[in-house]
Amino acid sequence: MSLKINTPPPHGGKLVDAVIRDKDKAISMAVGAIPYDLKATRDPVSGLPIRNVYREIMSIAYGFFSPLDRFMTRNEVESVLKERRLLDGWLFPFPIIFDISEDDLKKLSVKEGDRLLLRLKGQPFAILNVEEIWNFDPKDLADRTFGTPERNPEVVKRKFDEKHPGWLIYRSMTGIALAGKVYVINEPVFKDPYNRFWYPPARSREEMQRRGWRTVIAHQTRNVPHTGHEHLMKNAAYLGDIEPCHGILVNAIIGAKRLGDFIDEAILEGHEALNKYGYISPKRHIVTFTLWDMRYGNPLESLLHGIIRQNMGCTHHMFGRDHAAVGDYYDPYATQILWEKGIPSFGLNAPPYDLDKGLKIRPVNIKEFWYCPKCGEIAYSDTCAHTDIAQRFSGSFIRGLIAEGIEPPPIIFRPEVYRVIVKWWRVYGYPFVNKKYLELKERELEADVPPMDVPMKR
């Protein structure tokens, strides 16, 4: 038996590629389709944008969500909510829904069997084949998506509400869904700095092969890296097979985030600074992103992360405390519970890698790193015994220093990473996500859409 690990297949066996690159074919698909301008999902109280479905369209069409190739039908959503599986049996954690208002549905007079020409920034962008139109209760959908303490006592610690960004996204949907396959017919062009980090799964796999990376560990991030994150990457990467992982793939989640999070441009360039200035060799480290308005779903989000990074070609995935979490809705180690033994109340009776039609990516469950003044280094919590004097990394403390214009000490924050934050602070006038940034991001997005003329149907 070989001890060597090789690149896993895509989830479902094949990468989805729903990008139409032939211009004539793209135009022929658009002719006669009903035009519809994509709109943001907004917080009904504040009015702030919290989601733009274009990001889900991109992640479906470019294969990040493989084998999912469509917006879900009622039956598929029910399957996901009950068993966290698509109708064909493959694991998938979240309902992926294209919702539309009742007014827009009436104005468009859209019916099952129609095609929608989805426009982004005023230009043709994608085609949605409408296979089913169905209704749902947004609050019920939100509750069932994330769980409740009564239904999911293994990991859910308190009832979800409007303060949870992911719950709010589903709760703010219209209650009317259009289901069907979706195709990108006019590829958006990413702006700087996003264009440097766009590695959809097919390209990511090609890049790993070009670099000779047989084993690659994924690092999920929505933060600018402090040295605790850096040591997490360096140490988790030791777990490969007969040698440490050849590569470290940082995959940032790019989209609308909660107020107070770091801004997306700083997240990407902050991680890039680690390899640019040699803290992690650029021969072993690459920064990428996925378009997704984060649901902050802890164990369920980790399942989506595993799917995305397996599709990108990663063999391993590091999971830490409070993975992809906000607040105290979930057990802090809910993700690790999922990857150690499963969560039966979510339909996951074993870890994702031990389930039929599950994942092939290997979890690396990590606790935390802290600075130990006795050891004189950043140490792993299960290795260093000086728990009484250990100084834990605090994201809120670091953000507090930065907000006051104080550069964190180098032991917890690389100066080159801090300079990235300052660079984007000067651009936006504030180092963190605020209302102005969210509105600007919704207006500008991460990409532009080239002009495309679609002839009128005669």
Report CA 364 to chain centroid distance, whole Å.
18
For 323-361, write each residue's pLDDT tens digit.
999 999 999 999 999 999 999 999 999 999 999 999 999
pTM, full prediction: 0.97
For position 62, what pLDDT does the model report? 98
* Cis preceding linkage at 193, omega within 30: yes
Q: Are residues 356 and 315 in the same domain?
A: yes
What's the rounded Cα separation, in Å, for the pair 389 and 371? 9
| CB 145, CB 168: distance < 8 Å | no
> Among residues 142, 171, 190, which one ends one of the domains?
190
CA distances from 117 to 16, 30, 38, 365 (A): 20, 6, 10, 43
Return the SS3 of 112. Answer: coil
In a domain, 152, yes or no: yes
For position 395, what pLDDT does the model report? 80
In a domain, 4, yes or no: no
In a domain, 405, yes or no: yes
In a domain, 159, yes or no: yes
In a domain, 293, yes or no: yes
Which residues are paired to 253 by β-bridges? Answer: 290
| CB 164, CB 326: distance < 8 Å | yes
Report CA 393 to chain centroid distance, whole Å.
23
For position 128, what pLDDT does the model report? 98
Q: Are residues 178 and 211 in the same domain?
A: no
For 95-125, write each residue's pLDDT tens digit.
999 999 999 999 999 999 999 999 999 999 9
Q: Write out residues in the chain with pLDDT < 50, as ranges.
A: none
For position 1, what pLDDT does the model report? 62
For position 159, what pLDDT does the model report? 97
Q: Are residues 148 and 198 in the same domain?
A: no
CATH of the domain at 322: 3.40.50.620
Residues listed for the chain: 458
Q: Select from 278, 192, 260, 248 the least CA-distant residue to 224.
A: 260
Structure tokens at 58: 């991109």
Report CA 249 to chain centroid distance, whole Å.
14
Q: Are residues 155 and 200 in the same domain?
A: no
Amino acid making up residue 454: V
Q: Are residues 216 and 166 in the same domain?
A: no
Q: Are residues 174 and 246 in the same domain?
A: no
| CB 179, CB 134: distance < 8 Å | yes
Q: Are residues 260 and 389 in the same domain?
A: yes
In a domain, 298, yes or no: yes
Structure tokens at 348: 């996951």
The DSSP annotation for 277-332 comes to TTSS-TTTEEEEEEE------HHHHHHHHHHHHHHTT-SEEEE-TTTT--TTSB-T
Residue 156: Cβ-neighbour burial (10 angstroms; 0-12, 13-18, 19+): buried
Structure tokens at 221: 């991030």
Structure tokens at 278: 């040699």
> Among residues 147, 166, 190, which one ends one of the domains?
190
For position 158, what pLDDT does the model report? 96
**φ and ψ at 156, to 5 degrees?**
-90, 125
In a domain, 49, yes or no: yes
Q: What is the dihedral of CA 144, 148, 151, 153, to 10 degrees?
A: 140
Identify the domain containing residue 224 by its residue range: 194-442
Q: Are residues 349 and 392 in the same domain?
A: yes
Report CA 291 to chain centroid distance, whole Å.
6
Alpha helices in 287-429 (DSSP H): 298-311, 334-341, 395-403, 415-428
* Cis preceding linkage at 67, omega within 30: yes
Q: Are residues 124 and 75 in the same domain?
A: yes
CATH of the domain at 182: 3.10.400.10
In a domain, 7, yes or no: no
Q: Residue 442, Cβ neighbours under 10 Å: how many? A: 17
**Number of compact structural domains in the chain:** 2
> Among residues 190, 215, 246, which one ends one of the domains?
190
Structure tokens at 118: 């989805």
Name the pairing type of β-strands 34-37 and 115-120.
Answer: parallel
Q: Select from 185, 218, 186 the least CA-distant residue to 201.
A: 218
Q: Are residues 185 and 207 in the same domain?
A: no
Q: Are residues 32 and 124 in the same domain?
A: yes
For 76-96, write each residue's pLDDT tens digit.
999 999 999 999 999 999 999
Q: Residue 328, Cβ neighbours under 10 Å: how many? A: 10
What's the rounded Cα separation, in Å, for the pair 440 and 426? 15
For 387-427, write each residue's pLDDT tens digit.
999 998 888 888 888 988 999 999 889 999 999 999 999 99
Q: Select from 366, 266, 362 the least CA-distant residue to 319.
A: 366
Q: Are residues 177 and 206 in the same domain?
A: no
For position 234, what pLDDT does the model report? 92
Average pLDDT, the chain: 96
